[in-house]
């Protein structure tokens, strides 16, 4: 299993190289040339076809490299590129440091910090606010494979330190990003003053929920899109898709079984750390999870399972509390109600300023 994992990670690392399309095109054209040289009528016809395909692939691969280079020139990083474990990670820090904790935002999925730029800008007017691009996102390098929550929980504090940002921090994470910042808090309680978890991913949903074909399809889609991008890209780096595919690899029952001890935040793991759990009251926007129910009874059980799993992080700390999002909002509420989210974060920052010695 470990050998298979190393091979898979090596292939992902190779696919993440934007120049890979060029040697692939050369191999296809070379194979065609070999068939043409064989002399048989069928081999000549097939060889000519492969040469033509190889030429088209080469043109697409070179175009992809040119567009990637142009995008890099036109879209310079707004923050700093700091070194973390031999790779560059992008950190954007703005706003007055003041006397309160610094807020660090982490979007869901395997998205770049830019996804929370609106929230960051709103908060930075009054407090120190930081966006970090995880490896394989935004302006950061692709970084090493595999991309795991455990690895990123070590890399995030290292990036903050390298950027000169001083603790204590209030970590704010949405969905998969919530799982990540909870892991950071478990590992480095000396750095974290408080947590705001925005409908964080509960790993029970991965391990015990009905099979989520959409999640499985997303990972496959990342890989196919990366392969296509080598030849018909528009300037986007293939490494972003490969990193996302790697990160989502642990979000399966089998993947979670391998990393569970390093990734799950259990009851009591965060001691008395101030923790604000922000979730919708119902499954607005999540109707797809009920679509596969066989009958009304199973639909009710699925709904109950998701709603109970949604609040499991409350048990991680003895100083946790639950806040519900505005009516009508779903899992994507940071985008739907940004003022509400920033207000929750500001409230916790103010509380911590009052209680800090």
Would you say 106 and 171 are in contact if contact means Cβ atoms under 8 Å apart?
A: yes
The mean pLDDT value for 333-355 works out to: 94
How is 296-330 classified by DSSP, letter by letter? HHHHHHHHHHHHHHHTGGGGG-TTEEEEEPPTT--
How is 210-232 classified by DSSP, letter by letter? SP-HHHHHHHHHHHHHHHHHHHH
pTM of the model: 0.92
Q: Write the CA distances from 39 to 44, 53, 106, 205, 282, integer angstroms.
A: 6, 19, 60, 59, 69
**pLDDT band of 55, cuts 50, 70, 90:** very high
pLDDT for 1? 54
Interhelix angle 41-74/213-232, nearest 10 degrees: 100
Distance of alpha carbon 9 from alpha carbon 1, whole angstroms:
12
DSSP-based helix, strand, coil % in the chain, nearest 5 = 55, 15, 30
71-130 tens-digit pLDDT: 999 999 999 999 999 999 999 999 998 778 999 999 999 999 999 999 999 999 999 999
Based on the domain organization, do 85 and 138 belong to the same domain? yes
pLDDT for 114? 96
pLDDT for 26? 97
Residue where one domain finishes, among candidates 45, 76, 107: 76
Based on the domain organization, do 96 and 143 belong to the same domain? yes
Cα dihedral across residues 208, 156, 135, 129: positive or negative: positive
Whether residue 14 is contained in a domain is answered as: yes
Among 116-125, 202-211, 255-264, 285-294, the range scoring the smallest mean pLDDT is 285-294
Residue where one domain finishes, among candidates 15, 42, 76: 76
Please determine, for residue 198, whether its predicted confidence score (pLDDT) is greater than 70. yes
Residue where one domain finishes, among candidates 17, 50, 76: 76
The mean pLDDT value for 208-212 works out to: 77
Number of domain units in the chain: 2
Domain hosting residue 281, numbered range:
81-216+239-355
280-339 tens-digit pLDDT: 999 887 777 777 778 889 888 988 998 999 999 999 999 999 999 999 999 999 999 999
């Amino acid at each position: 299993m470990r050998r298979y994992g190393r091979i898979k990670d090596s292939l992902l690392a190779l696919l993440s190289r934007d120049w890979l399309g060029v040697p692939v095109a050369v191999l296809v054209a070379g194979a065609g040339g070999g068939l043409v040289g064989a002399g048989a009528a069928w081999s000549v016809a097939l060889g000519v076809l492969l040469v033509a395909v190889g030429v088209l692939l080469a043109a697409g691969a070179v175009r992809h490299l040119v567009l990637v280079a142009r995008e890099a020139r036109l879209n310079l990083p707004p923050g700093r590129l700091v070194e973390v474990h031999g790779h560059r990670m992008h950190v954007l820090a703005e706003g007055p440091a003041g006397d309160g904790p610094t807020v660090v935002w982490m979007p869901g999925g395997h998205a770049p910090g830019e996804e929370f730029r609106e929230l960051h800008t709103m908060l930075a007017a009054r407090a120190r606010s930081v966006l970090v691009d995880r490896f394989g996102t935004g302006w950061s390098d692709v970084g090493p494979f595999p991309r795991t929550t455990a690895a990123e929980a070590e890399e995030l504090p290292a990036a903050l330190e390298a950027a000169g940002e001083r603790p204590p921090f209030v970590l704010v994470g949405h969905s998969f990003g919530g799982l990540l910042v909870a892991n950071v808090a478990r590992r480095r309680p000396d750095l974290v003053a408080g947590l705001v978890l925005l409908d964080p991913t509960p790993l029970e949903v991965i391990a015990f929920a009905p099979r989520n074909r959409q999640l499985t399809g997303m990972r496959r889609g990342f890989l196919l899109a990366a392969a296509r991008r080598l030849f018909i890209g528009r300037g986007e780096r293939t490494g972003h898709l490969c990193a996302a595919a790697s990160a989502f690899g642990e979000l399966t029952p089998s993947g979670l079984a391998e990393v569970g001890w390093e990734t799950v935040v259990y009851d009591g793991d965060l001691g008395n750390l101030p923790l604000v759990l922000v979730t919708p009251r119902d499954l607005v926007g999540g109707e797809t999870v009920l679509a596969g129910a066989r009958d009304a009874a199973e639909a009710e059980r699925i709904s109950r399972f998701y709603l109970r799993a949604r609040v499991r992080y409350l048990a991680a700390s003895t100083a946790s509390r639950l806040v519900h999002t505005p009516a009508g909002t779903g899992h994507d509420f940071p985008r739907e109600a940004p003022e509400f989210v920033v207000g929750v974060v500001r409230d916790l920052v103010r509380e911590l300023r009052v209680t800090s010695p």
